[in-house]
Amino acid sequence: MTTTMRKLTVCMLIFMATAQTALASSGNVVAAPNVHARLESAVLAVGPRQSFLVALVLDLREGWHTYWRNPGDSGQATRLSWTLPAGFQAGPIQWPAPERFVLAPLVNFGYAKQAVYLVRMHAPSALHAGAPVSLRARAHWLVCSNVCIPESADLHLDLRASATAGETDPATAALFARARAGLPRKTPGPSRASVRNGRLVLTLGPHFGAHLGTARSLQFIPYRDGVIEYAAPQILTHQGATIRLAMKLGYQPPKAGTIRGILLVNGDHAAAQRALAYAIAPRLDASAATTATSSAAAGRYAATAAQPGTPSASPGVPSLSAAHVATTPFWTLVGLALLGGLVLNLMPCVLPVLSIKAVSLVEQARRHPREVRIKGLAFAAGTVASMLALSLVLLSLRAGGEQIGWGFQLQSPLFVTLMVYLLLLVGLNLSGVFEFGGGLAGLGENLTHGDNLRAAFFTGVLTTLVATPCTAPFMAAAVGAALSQPAPRALAIFAALGIGLCLPLTLVSFAPWMRRMLPKPGAWMDTLKQALAFPMYASAAWLVWVLAQQTSSMGLAAALAGCVLVSLAAWAYRRTKAGRGAGKFAAGATAILALLAAIMLPVQLDGAPIAPGAAAASGQAGDLSWVPYDPARIAQLRAAGKPVLVDFTASWCLTCLVNERTVFAEPAVRAIFRDKGVTLVKGDWTNGDPRITKALAAFGRAGVPLYVVYNATPGSRQPVVLPQLLTTRIVEDAFAGLPDRRFQ
């Protein structure tokens, strides 16, 4: 998994060979098809300990623009990497106030015609007069019009050292004067923030009033993405000397602390003159932050929602959107999580493990009824504890800025490989290749030694692990809501999910009448044990297929070699039970070394190039043609009134694959898509994608699958969210209001 997931552009990225060739050169000025890039200095020479300004200047072709530090709904901020002489230091980019670009429903912030990015340089005390001073920079920017093109250039700026502070360069004086004038001014007074009815409200005191006067137009732009909805109007009110500015919260509402950004005054960017900007940092107190987190919509649909509104559910199917999440009572969310955990027991990821464990409890109950109840509680503790541990990692990463959701660990090829090993070991144990415990009661004790409480606990951990690729009705809305709640409430929702997951087996351990409903123990139990090894092998094989969508051929080869080594380790471990002396030692050493080698193989190749998820990628599937997820294109299709089905999926999501291999493969469904002229879009979340994470959050979801239909009926502007478990009838009903284009 990557460290900090950067925000990617929603524009279509076009890589042109000619553009790359043009940018291969380096110098003080580099000409690209749409941008001329250069470095400029405010001084002619540099003196000891002198602080001076340099600038990256991008002169843009007419009709093209580039981006500010917060690009808005799409785009990417310009970046600079410096290579400087010894002792020189470069400060951060100083960003002039941006312009506002609207391509409904997208709102971006950046610069047209010319962008000037200022950087303050600091010279060392030891400089030799007359010596050359070469400043080198690698610049990366994104330039957009109807398409977006990422570009970069190697630039250098040659100055000379002087004995005293260098003189101002008259040739660049006007350029730097304009750029400094565009920088945000210092705040004229204190400000504070609060949350009211899902809106962020900035309160500006009397000091602002003296500077702003009777300003009719103010706009706040935060430095951090996701704090507010950029396209939503910002409402300005005056109450005496106090000014208030209210705006709709975004998909990442602010937490307690300081909200940094700029305030644009009279920000009508259609005018020739750029707005006056102030840098402000209002303080949001803890109670306001809690309100923000609980009342804000879980997010916007990654800049694709053309009109404000709530996604509607498919007829007769319960579904929670982001707006519903904002108003759903907390205990309702807990109940949904509990129901989702119960249904999760029926998913193909979980059922084989629980089935064998339930039968093993019947065998143990004949001899030790009391121990069965204690082990049932230990199993429940393992399930809930591991669910809470997983949720803590998820919440911590999201708090650190990561765009991730449920099943995030399966986006790591290393984790998937280790899961393959684990499932293979479980299967080998069931097949009798090796055993830690005797009889069927040993299942679940595979992760430790003997028939004890620790083993039951780790059976619960295993259950949680194998459940992560699955999702179930009720669960998706609860998990999505949990990620927009304060941490204590989020953990309570995840705990309820864990309780629902462990509840059936725990009830079996406590209720003799439930155990009597199961067949009596006998020789058939060993046969069942061996037969259920094959679902484990099938699960391992499926994860190997998932791995093939995530990593390179070398990474896949490492995992397959690791499977052979894991099998060798299991066989060698069994030999330790029968061997003696040197033979037993050799078998034990072989098992340990083989297992370590199996683990080290994928660790060493974890940095191998990652392939796109083939199962979820665009292309032909039967007679269906899928296009890759692109919010900008979806917005264009919506504006044109064309019907769209967006399938957010991942190769490791079993529910997704079941729907794709059954419902989407039905001739009747394919005929609907073809005859109604539906554009099919696939959002591949196999390896993670911040844009897709945002889109999921906008509908109150933290994981896949998610099926969204646009323009399902003529004149409708609201998206329709389909259930996670699809049927042919559900798809037919979703597009029933559309005319058949065959008869048009």
pLDDT along the chain (744 residues), means of 10: 35 33 50 85 90 93 90 86 91 92 79 94 87 90 77 88 82 91 85 84 77 68 88 81 84 81 68 66 67 41 34 37 51 80 71 63 60 82 85 70 57 77 80 58 39 72 72 62 70 85 81 66 68 78 76 76 87 78 83 85 58 43 74 83 88 75 85 88 82 80 83 76 85 83 57
Phi, psi (rounded to 5 degrees) for 45: -145, 165
3-state percent breakdown (helix, strand, coil) of the chain, nearest 5: 40, 25, 35
Which pLDDT belongs to residue 410?
64
Report whether 599 contacts 621 (CB < 8 A): no
CA dihedral 297, 303, 309, 312 (to 10 degrees): -90
- Six-digit token string for 242: 């106090």
- What Rg, from alpha-carbon coordinates, does the chain have? 30
The span from the CA of 416 to the CA of 32, in Å, is 42
H or E element at residue 729: helix 728-734
Q: State the angle between helix axes of 533-550 and 524-531 in degrees (0 to 180), rounded to the nearest 10.
A: 10
Q: What's 514-569 look like in SS3?
A: HHHCCCCCCCHHHHHHHHCHHHHHHHHHHHHHHHHHHCCHHHHHHHHHHHHHHHHH
Q: What is the pLDDT of residue 473?
A: 59
Spatial separation of the C-alpha atoms in residues 265 and 263, rounded to whole Å: 6
- Helix ranges (H only) for 685-725 are 690-698
Residue 435: what pLDDT? 65
For residue 7, the model assigns a pLDDT of 36
What is the Cα 384 distance to its own chain's centre? Answer: 24
**Model pLDDT, residue 51:** 92
Residue 489 confidence (pLDDT): 80
Q: Which residues of 109-119 are buried (b: 16+ CB within 10 A; e: fewer)?
A: bbbbeebbbbb
Q: How many Å apart are CA 347 and CA 418, to the nearest integer?
A: 21
Dihedral angle, C-alpha 307, 308, 310, 313, nearest 10 °: 0
pLDDT of residue 211: 62
Distinct helix (H) and strand (E) counts, the chain: 22, 29
pLDDT at 365: 55
**Alpha carbon distance 291, 288 (integer Å):** 5
Model pTM? Answer: 0.43
Find all residues with CB under 8 Å of 435, minimum gap 6, and list them. Answer: 429, 442, 574
The C-alpha atoms of residue 480 and residue 737 are separated, in whole angstroms, by 30
pLDDT confidence of residue 300: 36
Inter-CA distances, 526 with 438, 448, 623, Å? 11, 21, 46
Please give the pLDDT value at position 646.
Answer: 93
